[in-house]
Each structure stands twice: as structure tokens, then as C-alpha cells.
Chain A
Amino acid sequence: MAELRLMKGNEAIAEAAIRAGADGYFGYPITPQSEVLEYFMAENATERTGMVVLQAESEVASIYMVYGAASTGKKIMTSSSSPGISLMQEGLSYLAGAELPCLVLNVVRGGPGLGDIQPSQGDYFQSVKGGGHGDYKLIVLAPSSVQEMSDFVPLAFDLAFKYRNPALILADGAIGQMMEKVDLFEPIPRKTEITEPWAVKGKQPGEPKRTITSLDLDPYGMEKHNEHLQAKYRAMEENDVRYEAIQCDDAEYIFVAYGVSARICQKAVQLAREKGIKAGLLRPITLFPFPKKQLAELADRVKGFLAVELSAGQMVEDVRLAVNGKVKVEHFGRMGGIVHSPFEVVAALESKIINV
């Protein structure tokens, strides 16, 4: 039986991790996502499923605990907010290089630096362009409701294991802190047997040696490894783009927004249509892979796009690449933890796209 509960986004994601059969969580508290660790402790996650829940001494320690535990083929997770995720970037590059699946949650707050603790989407570049060194990508999912904070946990684990790649759930302070009705999925039992042919779990006699590393001092070998990684990223772009199109069928103007901005834009679509403006919303659910093809198709039949993000304009660059000059693409967004209102968004559509 499914179970309906009123939960914060941060609580829903922790409950979903327990239900998804996560084997380990390593994290360090930071607002606005401290409820994740608190929920694991309050819910006695270890007693419920046997999973390991540990408060590490820092974010750097958390991500390397994830690296070690993920090497054994288990379902491992960490979470933090912007400054803490910045500290994890080296580890994420190593995880991507060593091809280790794991789940990372970033509940984004205002930046740069220590910034503030209000909602922001200023970490888009870091998330989708590779915040650490080297040519790598994360699978990036952007929930825009508490329900999706729950639903995306098993999805992220599935994608991470499918591609042997870290998956990032990119939320924001609003999605983490707000409460909504959640339909919780049936618990999936933890895997007792590790079948991944790459996992290091103690070599048995007669078994070949397995090594988890991101190091290869032979540049020809390293180039080959990079080509293999790039082929994986192309496969993700081919097979795992997710998005939601809201009232796009007859739309003349399209908002492009994810996370809490997508929710605000849903209201903006409604307000714009009350004024006689045919607006629609294209909501990328995967930020990498990005719904380029869908945007390019829309560009053939609409008059303009407005990318709405809580940043100075980051995703708008990917929208422009996809639209490729066919029609006008502009950006609107507030920064530093201020959240745009639906009215402001409609006004921006009028001033930046329609009445130009």
C-alpha cells in the first residue's frame, strides 16, 4: 500500500533513500539541508534496513567515504548545500574518473562563497559543466516538487548504476524546505549480493584482480578511457533525457525553468494566458543530459524563449546553444537568495521578449 505523508523535501529524500535500499549515507550538516541527516537519525535508518548512516568530520571526508563505499558496488549517498558541494568537487571528479555510481544531493543556497541560506540556482554551471577537473559529466536530475524529491532517489540510483557514474539531484532551498503531500513508494529491499563485475569486495581464489582507480599514467590508455567516458555521456544524451512540457502545444512564448523556478513559471503561464499571452513551460528534468532536441524543435514554431533561473543566467547558455539563433532567447532571474514572483516573470517576458 502506498503511503501519503506531508513532508519537507529534505525529509522525503531521506525517507526515499531508506526505501530505495541505500546501503550508506555519509554527510555533514549545513543549512538548508540539515534535515536529511536529522531524518536518518530520527527514523533509526540503521535499525530499519541495516544501512550505515554516518556524520563525517567534513564534506571532503564525506565524499571520500562515498568513494570508498561505492567501490564495493553498494548504493551510497551524500548530501550537502552549495559551499559543502564545492568542497566535494575533487572527489566527484575522482568518482567520475573511476566510474563509480553514487547519489549526491545539493540543496542549493545563495552564493558565491558562504552566501546565505535562501533558495538559489547559482550552482547550475558547477553541476552540469563539471565542477571538478577533467572532462567528465554528472547525471543531473532537478526535482521541482517534494514528490520528485522522493521519486528521483530510486531513479538516480538506477541511472548511476546503469552508467557507472555519479548522479546529482540538484534541488534548492525552497524544494528542500517546503512541505507537500508525498506518495511514498513501496520499500525496495537492500541488495544482499553484489553482482557488479567491477566491485571490489575481497578477491576469492581464482578470481581476477579488480582495481578501482582514476589514475593511468599511460596517456594512450588515458585517452582511451576518456573516449569511453565520452561515449557514455553521448549514450545518456541519446537515451535518458527527461523533461516536462506544460501548455507548449499552442504556445508562442516558452519559459524554460527547472526546480522551484519551474513551479513559479507554471503560475506565470497561467497569469500570462489570463492576459491573452500564449505562454508555455518547458521544464528540463535532467539538466545533463539537457533536452536540446526538444528545445530545437520548439524553436521552429515559437516566437521566443525566456530562461527563468535563480541566477545571473547560467542555463540560458544551454538554451541558446539548443535554439541556435532561430528566435530570441533571454534570461530573467533574481540572485542571492531572492526568489522571483510569478508577476515578475510575466513582466520580464513582456519587457524582454514580447515588447522589443
Chain B
Amino acid sequence: MTEEIIIAGFGGQGVLSMGKILAYSGIMQDMEVCWMPSYGPEMRGGTANVTVILSDERISSPILNEFDTAIILNQQSLDKFEHSVKPGGLLLFDNNGITRMPQRNDIQIYCVEAAAEASQLSMEKAFNMIVLGAYLKLKPIVELDNVIKGLEKSLPERHHHTIGTNRDAIVRGMEIVQQYQF
């Protein structure tokens, strides 16, 4: 099994850290992992994206042009990566701020209203964990327990008290994700 994922959104949305937590979760499950960020000026306020690969085998290229899954958190990223999803693959997006909806009919498209939910529950900082929960509901490639272990590994100790909140956010994401209706 190899899962090739692109996560893309604005800098500050937690795109890179979500990828890191997912990668650490993979390690907790004895998988091979690779996390390849966009780095440089685009990180400072523009769009940020990260490629995460989880696999049972040695991982080849960290640079890819098509993905099993695209997790999309803004319009620019939707425009850029909708066509990079492999036929039959998964596109998961948050419709907050999206004006041009996804068009493809040869892939699975799901929507998670994570920004709205995070704001309603006053857990804005756990926004990316709601998205991660939605993804894991659709592709349960890592177990929730291993995600929690991954969180423990990737968060500095001073933030360990937030793990409960993060867990709640992941579970909430699993509950609210739904198939996108054209």
C-alpha cells in the first residue's frame, strides 16, 4: 500500500504541521514516510503545500505530479491541484472561501466545513485536525491511537495539554465530512 497525498492551503492554516502529524502517525504504524514541503517565500503568507507519502515499501520520488489524495484548503490550491488527483482518487476540500467548486467527475469529492466548525466550537487552532479527521474517516490508513502518538511526538511538550482538544477535533472531522453534491 502506498498513499500519496498533497495538502495545500494558506500559510498559517496548519498545512505543514498536519502533514507532519500524519507522517509521524505513519511511523508509529511502522510505515515508511516522506514529508516534502514547499519552502521559501510562498510560506510567508502565500500558499503553502506539502506532499506526504505513506507506504509499506521504500519510498521513491518525494516530488510527484499526481496524487491519490488532494486535501485542499483554499481556492488557489483547488485551481492548482484538482487536476493532479489520479482518476478514481480522492479530493477533500473545505468550501470556506471557495467560489469555483470542483468540476471533475472521475474522482471522489468530499467536503468538510472545517473552518466553520472550528469557529463554532471555538477551537480555531484545531482547524487542521478537523480536516485530518475528515481525511482519516475516508481513508483510515492510520489508526486514531497512532495519530495521538504521532501528535505526542510532533508537538513540543509544552503543547501536550492540547492533545485532548486535538483528538476531539479529529473525531468531529470524522463526523461532519460528507460527499460533495454537484
Mark A residues whose CB is within 8 Å of B.
4, 6, 31-32, 116-118, 173-174, 177-181, 260, 263-264, 266-268, 270, 339-343
Contacts and interface: CB of A to CB of B under 8 A. Distances in A.
A338 to B, nearest CB: 10
Contacts of A117: 39-40
Nearest to B62: A178
A118 B39 CA distance: 8
26 contacts: A4-B27, A6-B154, A31-B40, A116-B40, A117-B40, A173-B39, A174-B62, A174-B63, A177-B36, A177-B37, A179-B23, A179-B34, A179-B35, A180-B34, A180-B59, A260-B62, A260-B63, A263-B63, A264-B60, A264-B61, A264-B63, A267-B60, A268-B61, A341-B64, A342-B60, A342-B65
- The winner among B35, B37, B154 for most chain A CB atoms within 10 A is B35
Contacts of B149: none
B40 A118 contact: yes
Given A117-B39, A180-B35, A6 B153 contact: yes
A263 B32 CA distance: 14
Contacts of B35: 6, 178-180
A104 B33 CA distance: 28
Nearest to B61: A267
Contacts of A32: 39-40
A267 B65 CA distance: 11
Contacts of A264: 60-61, 63
Q: Shortest 7 CB-CB distances between A and B: which pairs?
A: A266-B60, A267-B61, A179-B35, A267-B60, A341-B65, A178-B36, A264-B61
Q: Is the interface of B mostly helix, strand, loop or mixed?
A: mixed
Interface residues of B, number: 21
A5 to B, nearest CB: 8
Contacts of A6: 20, 23-24, 27, 33, 35, 153-154
- The winner among A173, A180, A260, A341 for most chain B CB atoms within 10 A is A180
Contacts of B23: 6, 179
Contacts of B24: 6
A222 B71 CA distance: 63
Contacts of A179: 20, 23, 33-36
A119 B38 CA distance: 11
Contacts of A31: 39-40
Contact of B33 (A180, A266, A267): A180
A270 B55 CA distance: 15
A341 B4 CA distance: 14
Given A181-B27, A263-B63, A343-B65, 15 more contacts: A32-B40, A116-B40, A118-B40, A173-B39, A177-B39, A178-B34, A178-B37, A179-B20, A179-B23, A180-B32, A180-B33, A260-B63, A263-B61, A264-B61, A342-B65
A105 B64 CA distance: 26
Contacts of B33: 6, 179-181
Nearest to B32: A181
A339 B60 contact: no
Nearest to B21: A6
Nearest to B19: A179
A178 B65 CA distance: 17
A181 B59 CA distance: 11
Contacts of B32: 180-181
A1 to B, nearest CB: 16
A304 B114 CA distance: 52
B18 to A, nearest CB: 13
A149 to B, nearest CB: 13
A210 B32 CA distance: 50
A342 B40 contact: no
A264 B20 CA distance: 22
B56 to A, nearest CB: 13
Interface string B51-84: 0000000011111110000000000000000000
B174 to A, nearest CB: 24
A255 to B, nearest CB: 12
A177 B65 CA distance: 19
- The winner among B23, B27, B33, B36 for most chain A CB atoms within 10 A is B36
Contacts of A267: 60-61, 64
Contacts of B37: 177-178
B33 to A, nearest CB: 6
A180 B23 CA distance: 8
Nearest to A179: B35
B46 to A, nearest CB: 14
Contacts of B65: 341-343
B94 to A, nearest CB: 24
A283 to B, nearest CB: 12
Contact of A339 (B39, B40, B63): B63
Nearest to A337: B40
- The winner among A31, A117, A178 for most chain B CB atoms within 10 A is A178
A263 B64 contact: no
